[in-house]
Structure 1
Amino acid sequence: MEPILTISNLTKKFGYLTAVKDLTFTINKGNVYGILGPNGSGKSTTLGIVLNVVNKTAGDFKWFDGTVSTHDALKRVGAIIERPNFYPYMTAYQNLKLVCKIKGVDYKNIDEKLDIVGLLDRKDHKFKTYSLGMKQRLAIASALLNDPEILILDEPTNGLDPQGIHQIRGIIKKIASEGTTILLASHLLDEVEKVCSHVVVLRKGERLYSGRVDEMISSHGFFELKCEDNKRLIRQLENDSTFGIIKEENGLITAFLNEPLEASEFNKLLFESGIVLSHLVKRKESLEDQFLKLTDNN
């Protein structure tokens, strides 16, 4: 695996507040990474540090193989970490020409990037006439002008309507399929599950999980259960090593599996123990279930 960004024991304090705490993870080439966490978990601060707009308190980070300066490395990075900010009375094409001048990039890239984000037919329309979703797509086109090796997006679908969200996610997948590494920060579990191959879960600035999304949700699932005597059923489950976390809410028991177990086999075992279920459903854990388990005790 070829590393693009390596973060080692990164810490950022704002006075008494620790926004990022001893954070370590690596972004490898060719994947879509999600930094997942609720608002205030340190996602934007982490991105700000590696993009040189926020100073770190402790720890370190290095771009690529570590032999290039951050200034030179950022020429190979595309990023959107704030709301798109273009000149309202200039067209999309004129705005991107200005970005090309600033980045020292040839104008010939503009049409190609507008086509990627689905705005080529609107290139001569003024920015002020664009919807919020179109503005966000233009910002992505702008970030792609220097053909970056990694594209960094902070909450890319924030504030968009369902159609806008769908379009942005489709664009992210398309860019990734062409070999660009992507790092996006999001508080939306659904977004990370649908778009990302890897995830780093943050809570109060600390890393709770780092790895593949499919490995995070490749558990054995869980049962939803009800019977006339839930207390007896819970005792039975607690004495069985097949089960891990067991919860009861509004009369419904949720029992997470530590190992494979079919619903029919489980039902039979309970029946033989004198427990008759009135409700039995086996479900696969979603990223949300795993996220809630990770953050439950934090």
Structure 2
Amino acid sequence: METILTITNLNKIFNKRVHAVKNVSFEIKKGNVYGILGPNGSGKSTTLGIVLNVVNKTSGDYQWFNGSLPTHEALKKVGAIIERPNFYPYMTAEENLKLVCKIKGIPYSKVFEKLELVGLLERKDSKFRTFSLGMKQRLAIASALLNDPEILILDEPTNGLDPQGIRQIRDLIKLIASQGTTILLASHLLDEVEKVCSHVVVLRYGETLYHGAVDGMLSNEGFFELKSDNIVLLKERLQKHTAVKDIKIEEDKVFVYLKDHLEADELNQYLFENGIILQHLVKRKNSLEEQFLQLTKTN
């Protein structure tokens, strides 16, 4: 699979004191949706700024397209939105995009194609100042796609949007990805990354805590949710099972966390043979949020 971007031991220090990015390394492969996940101040935007050549790195390296092109040429194959949409308020959506085309030497025919893609073709004659925040964001995405980039970079694409606007942007990201465009987005929203990304890079205080497939981050042993008439005896029996790591009781439910693989039918049989009849048994996966909290807690 073609490598779009390679980041190696990237560092950024501001004012000789603030180490915003610390030895960050990861690769972006063609055809995937990558999320850089972390709270504000984790180094997400700084990392994007460096690879887009708007922030100077302190040390380390990055290469676009395996170094086959100099950075300024490579960036012609990149679409990016790293700030709030900035269009002329008194001009229409079509006029604003045509101006971008004129500046970048892109055929005007792309304007209608991209407006249709982002669901704004019917509003092509509406002035930018009449747009909602979500519509402004979608117009910005249309603008970033005018040159048919190989990768689209988005910094906090749903920030400040209402639930409907968030859903529209998420659906749009999925649609763009389905058409073959690689996407890299920075977000502090776990839910956003879990719903739209195939791969994730988790940053905290500029350091990489995890990078790889979202499914890989979620592929843990999970936990069981149990109910029984005798919770005290149930807990006692569970503590003797070698696959059980931890047990928590909340109201009438017992949550069983594992250290080794264990199927539901195996646990059910074990408990039955030890005098426990279950009223309820469900095996669940830890959410990305639970994994993220566990990751940041143990590092």
Shared fold (TM-score greater than 0.5)? yes
Amino acid corresponding to residue 192 of structure 1 in structure 2: V
Give the Cα–Cα distance (whole angstroms) in 2 for the partners of residues 49 and 253 of structure 1: 48
Residue equivalent to 2:295: 294
Given that 1:201 and 1:208 are in contact with CA atoms closer than 8 Å, whether structure 2 keeps it comes out as: yes
Q: Give distance in 2, aligned partners of 1:34 and 1:247.
A: 32
Give the C-alpha shift of residue 263 in structure 1: 3.6
Percent identity of paired positions between Structure 1 and Structure 2: 69
Spell out the pairing of 1:64-103 with structure 2 (5 A cutoff): 64-103=65-104
Q: Is the 8 A contact 1:233 1:275 kept in 2?
A: no
Deviation at 1:259, TM superposition (A): 3.4
2:171 aligned with 1:170, yes or no?
A: yes
1:267-294 Cα distance to aligned partner (Å, 9 max, x none): 5534655778797543122222222221
Structure 1 gap ranges (5+):
none
Give the Cα–Cα distance (whole angstroms) in 1 for the partners of residues 226 and 23 of structure 2: 40
TM-score, normalization by structure 2: 0.89
Aligned residue number for residue 261 of structure 2? 260
Deviates more, 1:249-258 or 1:62-71: 249-258
Alignment match, 1:34? 35
Aligned to 1:150: 151
| 1:97–1:285 distance in 2 versus 1, CA, 3 Å | same
Cα-to-partner distance string for 1:103-127 (whole Å, 9 max, x where unaligned): 2212121110101001111011100
Aligned to 1:4: 4
The aligned counterpart of 1:141 is 142
Cα drift, residue 80 of structure 1 = 0.3
Q: Provide closer, same or farther for how the CA distance between residues 25 and 249 of structure 1 changes in structure 2, counting only shifts above 3 A.
A: farther
Measured after TM superposition, the shift of residue 16 of structure 1 is: 1.9
Q: 1:10 corresponds to which letter in structure 2?
A: L
Over the aligned positions, Cα root-mean-square deviation in angstroms equals 2.4
Q: Deviations over 1:63-86 (max 9, x none)?
A: 002131111111110000111011
How far residue 146 of structure 1 moved from its aligned partner, in angstroms, is 0.9
Match of 1:115 in 2: 116
Which digits, 9 at most, give the CA deviation of each residue in 1:117-145, with x for residues without a partner?
A: 01111011100000000000000000001
Tell me which residue corresponds to 1:63.
Answer: 64
SS of equivalent to 1:65: helix
SS of 2:67's equivalent in the other structure is: coil
For residues 163-201 of structure 1, the C-alpha deviation after alignment (integer angstroms, 9 at most, x for no partner) is 111111111111111111110111112111111111111
Gaps of 5+ in 2: none
Q: Give how far 1:215 is off.
A: 2.3
